[in-house]
Structure 1
Amino acid sequence: MSNFEPNAVIRGFQLTIVGTVRALTNPELFKYEHFRQAALAIAIGIVIQLIIQIPILSVRFSIYLVSWVINLEQAVWDDKLLNGLEFMSRSVLQVPFLLMTLMRYVTPTLDEIFMESIQWVDTTYTQKHKTEDPNKLRSMYYPNLVQYSPKGGSSASRPIPEAIKSFFNRYAKKIGMMLGIYLLSMVAVVGRFVMPAASFYTFRNHVGSGPAAAIFGAGLFLPKRYIVMFLHTYFASRSLMRELLEPYFWRIKFTPEQKRRWFRDREGVLFGFAFAFTVILRIPYLGVLMYGVAEASTAYLVTKITDPPPTPSASADFAESQVTWKNKHDFLRLSLDNLDKLNVDADERDSDGPNSPGKKFT
């Protein structure tokens, strides 16, 4: 559980709160086109929800007609069927979540929000420490990061149509897996073990066999609805975090293997950070607006779990140096009001080389 320890998840949730507060203090945030386009996204979302409701209303009307012929007062199958359709439309199909994540490929405003927020984080950090020795402050993120092309990283090297196709492939696989598990759970006798077994398999490699076994045991007693919601929230949080970090990976060139190790070393904090936003983004209408705030908050997160980037000309080994989160355990031990106590000695940084930030806690 070294990467998914409870302390890391809690610290990720704390960063969600602090990052959101920092983002909302930025007067430039709500000037972006994203929040005007959100109104259109809300309208599209309403249409999509109405389309999803058509088969549900059709089934409801069919049951109503059947009730004229057959007495359904003592039957329970009709209620289970309708409740299952409603639940799948809300929790399994994830249509609102799909709509919000696709916005990244339609408009560049989310990338602009991320970069503006990186600059705002640097500005607020400088203001908070204006009475301290400038040589003892950490390096700024924005001046060098803005020099990187947003099309230079591994995540943006593919054409937009190919990137969208890849996104739909990932989405279809996740939906297919969730739908398959849900249908198998309805099979007599073995169905009650499907959800707990899926939970155990999913979490064993991330939190260890002991906690995964505890989740499996809980799944045998909890209603199936809660296990589905739990699995969906977990996978949705992972997907959301990857989408929110795309502006960073568009600029910093990681290989797929480096990117996988980067996420693995930070997965506890990333899950804690994304979990709260995943819940909020499921709120009808409000979720679309909050996606921009989530992107802005991610800029603050990046400054806590990565080193300030060097200039593009000195970035040859930078990605590999970021795979391991060097000061993870020190950062997790900080109190909430000391999250900015991660300073950099400029002389020590220069002596270590351009790719060795020389971080220290004070």
Structure 2
Amino acid sequence: MSNFEPNAVIRGFQLTVVGTLRALKNPRLFKHDHFRQAALAISIGVVIQLIIQIPIIAVRIFIWFSSWIVNLEDATWDDSLLNGLDFLNKSVLQIPFLLMTLLRYITPALDDIFMEALNWVDTTYVRKHKAEEPRTLRAMYYPNLVQYSTKGDKNESKPIHQAVISFLRRYGGKVGMLLGIYLASLVPIVGRFVMPAASFYTFRRAVGTTPAAVIFGLGLVLPKRFLVTFLHSYFASRSLMRELLEPYFSRIRFSSEQKRRWFLDREGVLFGFAFAFTFVLKIPVIGVLMYGVAEASTAYLITKITDPPPRPTQSEGFAETQVTWKNKHDFLRLSLDNLDKINLAAHEEEPPKPDIPRRQFI
């Protein structure tokens, strides 16, 4: 459990709270463009929710007509069916996550929010430590990272439609797996073992055999709804965290193997950070707005789990140096009010003043 230890998960949740509070203090976070795009997202979300409700409404109408022919007062299958459809809608399909992720491919607002928040984090850090010796402060993140292209070294990127199709393919695979597990759990006799077995298989690599076996045992006695929610939260947290980190990985290029090791070494903290947001995003209207706050909070997270990036001309080999989180154990032992104590990279020159050049929202 070295990467998924409880202390790491708790620290990730603490970073969620601190990062959110700091992001909300940024006066430039809620610009007019951001609210306009959020309003568009809310409108789209309402339409999608109405479309999703069509089959549920159709089933309700069918049951209503059936009640004229068959006495349903003592029956329970109708309530179970409606509750199951509603549960699949909220806990399996993950519509809010799908909606906000698709917006990333349509508008650069989320990328801009991340960079603006990173600029704010640097500015706040300098202001907070202005009485200290400049050479003892960490290097800045924003001035160098903003110089990186988001299209790679060859200034090339996938067309929007290809990127959307690629995402929908990954999303469909995960939803299909969750839906398949859920339907398999409805099979008589063997169905009660499906969810616990899926939980054991999923968590054995992340937390170890013994904790996964405990989860398997609990799955045999807990209601199936709790286990489905548990699995959904785990997979949704991982997917959400990868999407929130996209502005960083679109600039700092990692190979697939390097990225896999990068996530594995920080798995506990990343899960704790994204876990709360997976529930907030389910809230109608508020969830769409909070996605932008989650992106801004991720900028604060980056400054705690990575080194400040060098200039693009000096970036060769930098990704490999970031695969291992160097100060992980020291950082996890810090008190909550002392998170800035460990400097990942000492600054050799006087750090920029708070008026760091800003990249404007589009």
TM-score (norm 2): 0.93
Equivalence for 1:186: 186
Q: What is the CA–CA distance in structure 1 between the aligned matches of 2:58 and 2:264, rounded to whole Å?
A: 45
1:190/1:154 CA distance change after superposition, 3 Å: farther
Q: Which amino acid letter does the alignment assign opposite residue 112 of structure 2?
A: E
Equivalence for 1:207: 207
How far did 1:346 drift?
3.9
2:142 counterpart of 1:142: yes
1:260/1:338 CA distance change after superposition, 3 Å: same
Equivalence for 1:45: 45
Q: What is the CA–CA distance in structure 2 between the aligned matches of 1:316 and 1:13, rounded to whole Å?
A: 33
How far did 1:155 drift?
12
Map 1:298-309; keep pairs closer than 5 Å.
Answer: 298-309=298-309
How far did 1:157 drift?
3.8
How far did 1:51 drift?
1.1
How far did 1:33 drift?
1.8
Equivalence for 1:240: 240
Contact 2:149 2:155 in 1 (8 A): no
Q: What is the CA–CA distance in structure 2 between the aligned matches of 1:170 and 1:153, rounded to whole Å?
A: 25
Equivalence for 2:254: 254
TM-score (norm 1): 0.93
Once the two structures are superposed, residues 125-168 of structure 1 have per-residue CA deviations (whole angstroms, 9 ceiling, x without a partner) of: 00111000000000001111111112127998433222111100
Contact 2:139 2:346 in 1 (8 A): no
**RMSD of equivalent CA atoms:** 1.6
Once the two structures are superposed, residues 6-59 of structure 1 have per-residue CA deviations (whole angstroms, 9 ceiling, x without a partner) of: 000000000000100110111111115222111111111111111111111111
Q: Which amino acid letter does the alignment assign opposite residue 228 of structure 2?
A: V
Higher RCO, Cα 8 Å, sep 6+: 2
Q: What is the CA–CA distance in structure 2 between the aligned matches of 1:277 and 1:70, rounded to whole Å?
A: 44
Once the two structures are superposed, residues 241-279 of structure 1 have per-residue CA deviations (whole angstroms, 9 ceiling, x without a partner) of: 000000000100111110111001001000000001111
Contact 1:111 1:247 in 2 (8 A): yes
1:155/1:18 CA distance change after superposition, 3 Å: farther
1:154/1:50 CA distance change after superposition, 3 Å: farther
Equivalence for 1:337: 337
Map 1:46-85; keep pairs closer than 5 Å.
Answer: 46-85=46-85
Q: What is the CA–CA distance in structure 2 between the aligned matches of 1:153 and 1:15, rounded to whole Å?
A: 32
Q: Secondary structure at the match of 1:251?
A: coil
Q: Secondary structure at the match of 1:22?
A: helix
Equivalence for 2:278: 278
Q: What is the CA–CA distance in structure 2 between the aligned matches of 1:346 and 1:120, rounded to whole Å?
A: 18
Q: Secondary structure at the match of 2:69?
A: coil
1:57/1:126 CA distance change after superposition, 3 Å: same
Once the two structures are superposed, residues 54-111 of structure 1 have per-residue CA deviations (whole angstroms, 9 ceiling, x without a partner) of: 1111111111111211112222111111111111111111112210111100100111
Once the two structures are superposed, residues 169-225 of structure 1 have per-residue CA deviations (whole angstroms, 9 ceiling, x without a partner) of: 001001100110110010100111111111111100000011111111111111111
Contact 1:136 1:345 in 2 (8 A): yes
2:24 counterpart of 1:21: no
Q: Secondary structure at the match of 1:93?
A: coil
Equivalence for 1:358: none
Equivalence for 2:163: 163
Q: What is the CA–CA distance in structure 1 between the aligned matches of 2:154 and 2:250, rounded to whole Å?
A: 6
Q: What is the CA–CA distance in structure 2 between the aligned matches of 1:331 and 1:287, rounded to whole Å?
A: 30
Map 1:291-302; keep pairs closer than 5 Å.
Answer: 291-302=291-302
Q: What is the CA–CA distance in structure 1 between the aligned matches of 2:153 and 2:247, rounded to whole Å?
A: 9
Q: Secondary structure at the match of 2:2?
A: coil
Structure 1 gaps of 5+ residues are 349-362
Map 1:84-163; keep pairs closer than 5 Å.
Answer: 84-152=84-152, 157-163=157-163
Contact 1:155 1:249 in 2 (8 A): no
Q: Which amino acid letter does the alignment assign opposite residue 280 of structure 2?
A: I
Q: Which amino acid letter does the alignment assign opposite residue 280 of structure 1?
A: V
How far did 1:341 drift?
0.6
Contact 1:23 1:293 in 2 (8 A): yes
Q: Secondary structure at the match of 2:149?
A: coil
Equivalence for 1:2: 2
Structure 2 gaps of 5+ residues are 350-362
Contact 2:111 2:247 in 1 (8 A): yes
Q: What is the CA–CA distance in structure 1 between the aligned matches of 2:213 and 2:198, rounded to whole Å?
A: 11
